[in-house]
Structure 1
Amino acid sequence: MTAMAQSRKSHRGRRQFSTCLLLLLTLTHSVGSDAGALPLGRTAASIATASGSNSNNPENNVCLSNMKNKNGQCVIPRGGSSAARASDPGTLSESLKVLGITGAMVYLKDQFSTAAAEWWVGAQTTRFLLAGAVAGIVSRTAVSPLEVVATAQMVRGGNKGLVGELSSLWASEGLKGFFKGNGANCLKVAPTRGVQFFAFEKFKLSLVKWKRQSMGVAEDADVSLSPLERLVAGGFAGMVASSMVYPIEVVKTMLTMYPGKYAGIGAAFRGLLAEVGPRGLYAGLTPTLIAMFPYVGVEFMIYETSKIAIEAFLKEKSEDGAFVALPVIISLGLGALAGAAAQTSAHPLDVVRKRLQVQGINGNPVLYKNTFDCFAGVINKEGFTALYKGLGPACVATIPGTGIAYITYEFMKGVLNLSSV
């Protein structure tokens, strides 16, 4: 019997018990009367009538004050005055009402719990999105100071090293400066990473189904993907995710470069719309989409291909041939390697994207018409090496950031009972 079936059986059992309890209490109340076999509360007059005694006899009408109900009747429970205890039928009726409401609440709670459990089991999309979002937030917050320095160097250039930039940032803005724009960054990276991981899993699954059909094998046959196929799946996943959340990326850049200008994320959105219009929210989108294909594709390809190869090696070397989970330190190293390779391959496009985002804002001149014009302009004015400005801090941020993201993602997959192809 599956866990879900056992859960349903347990819920049905609790509902049946609640129903039986209510029926029993109702029947007990209905048969309890003055002459009944199960009197829950009897008056002095009813006792006298049932026994044939004279109700006018003072000895039979003795009633303690604390034995009278709200109507002034003397209530003598079964067992006589020597075992007398007050029992108010009105109070019993109210108790039954409370029990009925409680039973209904238990029933509704069980129904809701069952429906929620069934939805969660089938909500694979939501679980993948959640796992990716948590991975993105944790990793990006951990490397926020390095992200701030990398963004500053890509936009304005400069020859300060990483330590010099961090020291200058600490001296001018303190600890707060290390996390400026991080709110917008997390607001961007949570859906971005969530969509990336989810779309990557879906693209891989589609490729596996296509390969099975082209090979003419069963639907559940074991089919593996090549590194190139994983690169393609990751590339498209990166493009889909970036196109969905790109305006938040622009806002994050503004908050990082001009922290005193906008009061917050909402103010930055309104300021951008006022200065450059809706078009400004998508400045630099073309190089972003071009960059995301190799960036995310290379990252996913290197990480997953290496991970699968190492897991196969560990399984082969194990005594019983059982699956061996990848150690955390190896996952961190593979994520770092994947992040460094991805950042290096896409960094020139990242520089162009940042330059296009800030032009025309906060007094910055509009220097470039489009992506290709920006490439040519940066190379002519600053040299080819300008396309790699900020690569050091970017890699330093990407290496631990990507490693932390994959560790968190693998952890969340275990918590949410998810698996990959």
Structure 2
Amino acid sequence: MATTTTPPPTTEKGTGMDGQKEKGLRPGNHPFVVPQFTGKDYASFCLAGALCATITHGSMTPIDVIKTRIQVDPALAHHSLLSGGRVIVANEGARALLTGFGPTAVGYLVQGGAKFTGYEFWKKQLVQIAGDQDTAVAYRTAIYLGSASIAEFFADIMLTPLEATRIRLVSERGYATGLVSGFARMSREEGLRGLYAGFIPILCKQIPYAIGQFTMNELCHELVNRSMTDEKRKSLSPTVNVGITLSCGVVAGFTAAILSHPADTLLSQINTGHGPTGSMPHRLKVLAQQAGFRGLFAGLGPRMIMTAGLVSGQFTVYQGIKDALGAPPGLEIHKETSLV
């Protein structure tokens, strides 16, 4: 993932960062080099992704509580982030804004590790399938989309039960005292079917979210890279690089929120037992028809604010942890730049 504006150095005789061997083709005068990430590299990606996701999502718990309540509680449906928060605090106390913190922190710990590692892994695989630099660059957007989608699919298998527990804790006051008791109650009363009732909706939410998050971040970094010379890019200060990462993350966050919000609304409805019985596609169709366009985008403003902070924070923390661990940069396939 392009979270830095400075390409890593390469050396002659087919070696790259830290002397790792690179393999690929050399069409014309454009070397096609693909870094061969080690198990240690992927472990670093996983740890950085897990920590950046759980830190940012955990810190956003109060906003997420308000957003979810706006989506599922008719009495709060027309409230803003601030007014909705005031109503919740007035009626239930400030502690209510931290409801679901446990499932959020744990869920996104495992999801973040799997998603960021999977994105790095599948992007590399798809670049290798492309076979040469010109093809990889020409289809870079498809590579971003495919990598994000595949990585998110597997990450959501781990996230779904914990997300279902979080939504139930937020939407039903007194349902359980926390993560363990809430998860145990859902498992006991509803079984695996209940824990994974929102799997299809969460895929519909999280895959567009991941697409917006990673693809827009890559494209924003490409625009930044193409707006300056190699010399200027290499001379940027750490502060400027962090500013670029944050700015690209904000744009990516807005995109992710808009693309995924309708499914996020449906997911909240499904996990609170709303809608008819029947197959999941039927339930989603009926709920979407009942909500209408305006209802599907209820709470979008608060979620855009939350998601902009989440995504920009995640990329910044992710890069910082990777740097601290000595992990190599992710694979870059920006136009008019080398593959790494």
Q: Distance in 2 between matches of 1:197 and 1:323?
A: 28
Where do 1:12-411 residues align within 5 Å? 122-157=39-74, 158-212=77-131, 215=132, 224=137, 226-316=140-230, 318=232, 322=234, 324=236, 327-359=241-273, 367-411=276-320
Q: Distance in 1 between matches of 2:266 and 2:288?
A: 11
1:313 to partner: Cα distance: 2.9
What value does the CA root-mean-square deviation take over the aligned residues?
Answer: 2.4
- 8 Å Cα contact 1:352-1:371 kept in structure 2: no
1:344 to partner: Cα distance: 0.8
What count of residue pairs does the alignment treat as equivalent? 289
1:415 to partner: Cα distance: 0.9
- 8 Å Cα contact 1:203-1:237 kept in structure 2: yes
The partner residue of 1:420 within 327, 330, 339 is 330
Q: Which amino acid in 2 is paired with 1:358?
A: T
Q: Distance in 1 between matches of 2:223 and 2:270?
A: 40
1:308 to partner: Cα distance: 3.3
Listed as ranges, the gaps of 5+ residues in structure 1 are: 5-120, 360-364
Q: Distance in 2 between matches of 1:176 and 1:416?
A: 36
Listed as ranges, the gaps of 5+ residues in structure 2 are: 1-17, 19-37, 332-340
- 8 Å Cα contact 2:107-2:158 kept in structure 1: no
1:368 to partner: Cα distance: 4.0
Q: Distance in 2 between matches of 1:370 and 1:347?
A: 22
Q: Distance in 1 between matches of 2:248 and 2:72?
A: 29
- 8 Å Cα contact 1:336-1:400 kept in structure 2: yes
Relative to the length of structure 1, the TM-score reads 0.64
Q: Distance in 2 between matches of 1:159 and 1:367?
A: 24
- 8 Å Cα contact 1:311-1:323 kept in structure 2: no
Q: Which amino acid in 2 is paired with 1:196?
A: K
1:142 to partner: Cα distance: 2.4
Q: Distance in 2 between matches of 1:230 and 1:366?
A: 35
Q: Distance in 2 between matches of 1:368 and 1:354?
A: 16
Residue identity over aligned pairs, in percent, reads: 23
3-state secondary structure, aligned to 1:198 = helix
